[in-house]
Amino acid sequence: MPGYEVRKQVLSFLITLVVAYALVLLLIRIFESHFIFFPNTPGRLSGNWRPLGLPVQDVSLRASDGTKLHAWWISGNDAKFTFLAFHGNAANIANRADTYKFLQSMPANVLAVEYRGYGHSEGKPSEAGLYLDAEAGYDYVVNAKGIAPRQIVSFGQSLGTAVAAHLAAKREVGGVLLEAPFPSAAAVARRIFWFLPGLSLTVASQFDLRERLRAIEAPLMIVHCSEDPVIAFEFGEAVFSGAHEPKHFLKIEGYCHEEASSIAPERYRAALTEFLDSLGAYIH
């Protein structure tokens, strides 16, 4: 019967479509790390590893799973705080020298941690691995440098905001500074890959920043560019709304992602100075 044959063909097509889509999701799951981490963009060792005017000291760290990591220790004159810095997804710490120079000028010390699989660090990146890298940086600052926990500010940019938040939820810190944060990996996936329903349910990496913030008691400052081309400004607002007081939000007008300190240095400096001054009461 013609009608039966048509229904059979339609059903066969739908089954094929479902199977093909399931295979697409499976392939994304298998090669997930390639879609999340970009250590070779634009190049794993690109950038200036001896930036002019920045007293960089190379540091070797060892994560609790044995992975050997590279980091920069940047001391600041008369530093009251130490920024434990976690950069965004692509490239490495050498590509963020201007950011570290800005933080050091507060004045403050900076430990810029290079994730496993990035820059000169060994290993392969993963969500759990990045969290171990952050803890290795924290242990170095506290044990090797003798910095009191409440003099540490956990600082993250983009992907690094999830790492900074996770650390602050697990270890004692004096404050948290997040630049271009996002609620979770699932939220970002739904926005970017809106045409792939169910994708967020298949990925293993969650980077659930908003959940981590519920466990953070330290004061929080969020910085987000109004025209962020990578992490939507609304994501920063969503993260802020779910965080505990005391919290501060700095909106930088303009098109930028991790460049807020470059396009609005004076405004950023004034707001960050006020935030750091407010941590005094928390420290004592």
- How far is 69 from 85, CA to CA, in rounded Å? 14
Q: Which of 238, 235, 216, 214 is nearest to 225 (CA)?
A: 235
CA atoms of 14 and 18, how far apart (whole Å): 6
* pLDDT given at position 26: 47
The confidence score (pLDDT) of residue 189 equals 66
- pLDDT tens digits along 142-193: 999 999 999 999 999 999 999 999 999 999 999 999 999 999 887 766 765 5
Q: What is the pLDDT of residue 284?
A: 52
Task: State residue 181's pLDDT score.
Answer: 97
pTM of the predicted model, to two decimals?
A: 0.86
Distance CA 173, CA 99 (A): 21
What CATH class is the domain 31-283?
Answer: alpha beta
Low-confidence ranges of the chain (pLDDT < 50): 21, 23-34, 194
Q: Which residues contact 230 (CB under 8 A, 6 or more apart)?
A: 158, 180, 257
pLDDT reported for residue 185: 80
Q: Say what the pLDDT of residue 8 is.
A: 60
Spans of all domains in the chain: 31-283
